[in-house]
Amino acid sequence: MSYKEDRIAQLIKEGNIPLRNIEDTSLIPEKIDVESFKKLAIIKNNIARFVNDGFNLLIYSDNPGNGKTTWASKIGLAYIDYVAAYATEKPFLYLNLPLFLSEKKANIQDKSLSEEIDRKEALIREARLVIFDDIGVRGLSEFEKQLFYTWIE
């Protein structure tokens, strides 16, 4: 393995990308999604500029299964590839929001997750790119909304 390949593997692990999202999954858009796919491809191909310019992105749809998570992962992996090549940027973090909120709740009773939760919360503050996935999958309590707001502020 080359240095870059080792660095990419390390960044994927530290960035919390689920293994199922790492493979280059081909996406075939529905007719209604073609323009969105084109815009997301531009962002992915220009990820360094997008992140360095401080832009934000919300990938949203009322419909499940149309590529939102796959696009989020592709964009995250493009950023990781950039970071590995230039080794000058802060880390990246991918979080499934409902899963992370569930982990935080479970940690109230069982402190075994504290170290990992603390690591992720530190990365939320430090990372140049944070991807929150599945934001709209379920409703959030007022506490969860406030917590999420502090992370994105």
pLDDT score for 24: 65
Exposure class string for 121-139: b at 16+ Cβ within 10 A, else e: bebbeebbbbbbbbbeeee
DSSP designation for 131:
E
pLDDT score for 68: 87
Which residue from 150, 82, 90 is spatially nearest to 123, judged by alpha carbons?
90
Looking at per-residue pLDDT, the higher value among 26 and 140 belongs to 140
pLDDT score for 100: 93
pLDDT score for 137: 77
Mean per-residue pLDDT, 13-30? 78
pLDDT tens, position by position, 104-147 = 888 888 888 889 899 999 989 888 889 998 887 788 899 899 98
Residue 119: count other Cβ atoms within 10 Å of its Cβ.
13
Q: Which helix (H) or strand (E) holds 62?
A: none
Tokens read off for 59: 């990938």
In angstroms, the CA 51 to CA 149 distance is 20
pLDDT score for 87: 67
pLDDT tens, position by position, 85-97 = 876 666 788 998 9
pLDDT score for 127: 87
Angle between helical axes of 97-109 and 142-152 (0-180°, round to 10)? 110
pLDDT tens, position by position, 57-75 = 888 887 788 888 888 889 9
pLDDT tens, position by position, 40-50 = 999 999 999 99
